[in-house]
Structure 1
Amino acid sequence: MFDAILIDEGMDLVVDSDEIKFEGKQPIFWLAWQTLRPVTPEKQEQRRLIWTYDMAQSLDALKVPTAKELFGQELGTSMLKGQYPGGIKKSEVMSRCYRTPGPILTMAHGIGMGLLRKEGMLTGLTTKKEWQDIGYEVTGDFRKIGQVLVISRPSENSCNPISSIWTESPLIKFETYKNREEELKVLANQVKANLEYDLLKPSHDILVIVLGNSQDAQILEQKVAKTLISHNVEIFIPSALESNILNPIFPNTNANNFWYEGAVTVSRIHRAKGNEANMVYIVGLDNIASNESDIKLRNQLFVALTRSRAWVNLSGVDGNHPFYEELRKVMESGNSFQFEYYPPKVDIGETIDIR
């Protein structure tokens, strides 16, 4: 049917369940392949399918599928290896980030993979090449268990200039509060200050993201929205038809609506994904801290952090959570992490060189 297909956010189309796969292949990728015309009749296997990947932003699947799993044993064996005529690489790794400021991006990687956990690295990249591919410099040898490694991100691979021109305050702030009410009251006052004194626009400039599993996040989203409204801040829940609707219900919804002029968007992570703002507030960090070894929850935080184009403000309720100490260590580390290497606690499978 098609000459070419482009798939963005390819990690969101990956399924883990064997029952959903088609003859062992990833169904959406295989469907896309089948709907493509060959480049030439003589080379039936050569088709214009391009997809992008960032497994750190996956909120569902945990393992990176190999090309063989995507397209089958015969086709997948050579799918991503080598080059096409003219020196065109079959797979390309993008090492530079243009949206998220360097300090926020390195924090997202550090906390997302659990690099500085007391118990050791939770998940993530385990070779020097893989780290170099995504824009880091590595000192040390991953092949030696217990080796002290240093991973640093040079400024040229983080192209957002905000960290070099904004000197008034840190780009990243993190605070905990004695209860949820206090956390949200401070949030409301900070948002009001952004609007009244910093002259940020409510829509597109400010985004509030709530974290946690489905039920926790839904409850927190409502609490955040009600608190902001009580402080005379217009809010918008994605898919609503207008502002200050707390619980949009079909058919009075529009799934494409994420912003509303004059209102601050309050969103759970799955709807926030794919969007961005200058000021990002991340609330409910205790929902992550209380189950810090859950990779999907850490991925929520990674995605939330990387929505920011300039500043990020994290908050949660007080508690005896080692995760908070880890987070502060990651923040203090800046663009460089030093840790003893031990194999990750959670295997994410073979890395595909597509970002």
Structure 2
Amino acid sequence: MQNLVDYTMLPPEQLFGFNSDGSPRIEVSNAAKIAQDMILPVCYRNTPWALTIAHGLGFGTNRAEGLVQLFDDISLWEAIGYEVVSGSFEPKSNISLRRRGDAFPQIFKENLYAKDVILTEVFDDDDAQVDWAARSISRDLTIDELQIEDIMVIVSDSSKFVNIGKKLSAELLKYGVKSHLTGIDTNRDEFFIKDSVVITTIHRAKGNEAAMVYLINSEYGNGKFDLIKRRNTLYTGITRSRAWVRVCGVGVDMLAIKKEVELIIANDFKLNFVVPTDEERKKLRNIHRDRSAGEIRNLENIVKNTGEFIEKVHSGDVPIEALSQDDLARLREILERTREVK
């Protein structure tokens, strides 16, 4: 489930390849037709509140611009522990989902408060974010009596990992807290180190977990392109937490993420969205798919040129009559769709 849509594993023949004689390197026979995998009905690692928000952000259920992605098999919601509060799984239905009471151990409700489990913070710049994270981690260790191995810091945007990680390490030292950047201060096989807070990327965080997770630079999840990959990053980061998670980031994109979280909390941790049709789901996958660096550069240039074009039309340098009727009709259609989203 670290990839929210591709929920089936490739067959072993594709995963491990073939021998020179054409036979598969790994072959799993199942003559008795026994199920070889299953969806576990109870989530023991994540609190129901953090998992709901992880799914909400991962799919974009409360995103102002609409869904980012969704299961092809909509009934999977029930298989992974959700129940329908209202609506149905039929296309175009306004559906409301929440975690079933039997889909998580009651120890979470007995020992944790939902309002403390997940907090979001927005900062003006990276320095303010790093300062806050260091102070919060120090407070976790001193006042809240967490152990160093209870804490994991994940930098959502891998391109910022070294820069942000080193800033945070330096700031933590001011509080007498040691830390390490995985793969930078350690060899590639080391993750948790005694008496040192782990600072890592989302790729290294997979397969690991901690009681308290700091997911920093989470504005990464609200970029213009590659939204499926970016939202999967938020989902994976939040689900590394066994108890508490702090989602923080910088600027207006983080404000949008914070608003999504607050809407889910205000709705008593229910996920509300309109079930898309098969065609709409395919369109989402195409719009928000992973793209190469060259593709992204081209799209950024198109967006830039569009802004320049609008400015030229607005100033009168380019007369509106220069556009064909077909182009004008398409622009009207785009504007209408934008109004519908808002």
TM exceeding 0.5 = yes
2:151 and 2:203 mapped to 1: Cα distance? 17
Structure 1 position 31, deviation (Å)? 4.7
1:333 to 267, 270, 273: 267
Query: Is 1:141 equivalent to 2:88 in the alignment?
Result: yes
Residue of structure 2 in register with 1:186 after alignment: 132
Residue of structure 1 in register with 2:173 after alignment: 229
Residue of structure 2 in register with 1:170 after alignment: 116
Give the SS at the match of 2:170: helix
Deviation string, structure 1 residues 273-304 (Cα, Å, up to 9, x no partner): 11111111111112223447611111111111
Residue of structure 2 in register with 1:347 after alignment: 285
| Cα RMSD for the two superposed structures | 3.0
2:203 to 228, 249, 270: 270
Structure 1 position 127, deviation (Å)? 4.3
Residue of structure 2 in register with 1:207 after alignment: 152
Comparing 189-198 with 328-337, which one deviates more in the overlay?
A: 328-337
What pairs with 1:46-57 in structure 2 (closer than 5 Å)? 47=29
Partner AA of 2:235 in structure 1: F
Structure 1 position 114, deviation (Å)? 0.7
Residue of structure 2 in register with 1:101 after alignment: 47
Give the SS at the match of 1:266: strand
Question: Aligned pair in 2 of structure 1 residues 162, 143: CA closer, same or farther (>3 Å)?
Answer: closer
Query: Is 1:88 equivalent to 2:34 in the alignment?
Result: yes
Give the SS at the match of 1:190: helix
Can you give the 5+ residue segments of structure 2 that lack an aligned partner in the other structure? Answer: 287-342
Structure 1 position 153, deviation (Å)? 1.1
Question: Aligned pair in 2 of structure 1 residues 31, 302: CA closer, same or farther (>3 Å)?
Answer: farther
The count of aligned residue pairs is 272
Can you give the 5+ residue segments of structure 1 that lack an aligned partner in the other structure? Answer: 1-8, 15-20, 38-45, 49-83, 240-246, 349-355
Residue of structure 2 in register with 1:255 after alignment: 188
Give the SS at the match of 1:260: coil
Question: Aligned pair in 2 of structure 1 residues 160, 268: CA closer, same or farther (>3 Å)?
Answer: farther
Give the SS at the match of 1:157: coil
Give the SS at the match of 2:252: coil
Give the SS at the match of 1:121: coil
Residue of structure 2 in register with 1:59 after alignment: none
Give the SS at the match of 1:195: helix
Residue of structure 1 in register with 2:212 after alignment: 279
2:38 and 2:235 mapped to 1: Cα distance? 22
Deviation string, structure 1 residues 31-86 (Cα, Å, up to 9, x no partner): 5982346xxxxxxxx626xxxxxxxxxxxxxxxxxxxxxxxxxxxxxxxxxxx64x
Give the SS at the match of 1:189: helix
1:233 and 1:117 mapped to 2: Cα distance? 37
Partner AA of 1:144 in structure 2: P
Query: Is 1:150 equivalent to 2:96 in the alignment?
Result: yes
1:327 and 1:10 mapped to 2: Cα distance? 19
- What TM-score comes out, normalization by structure 1 length? 0.68
2:61 to 94, 115, 139: 115
- What TM-score comes out, normalization by structure 2 length? 0.70
**Conserved in 2, the CA contact under 8 Å of 1:121 and 1:341?**
no
Residue of structure 2 in register with 1:6 after alignment: none
More helix by share: 2
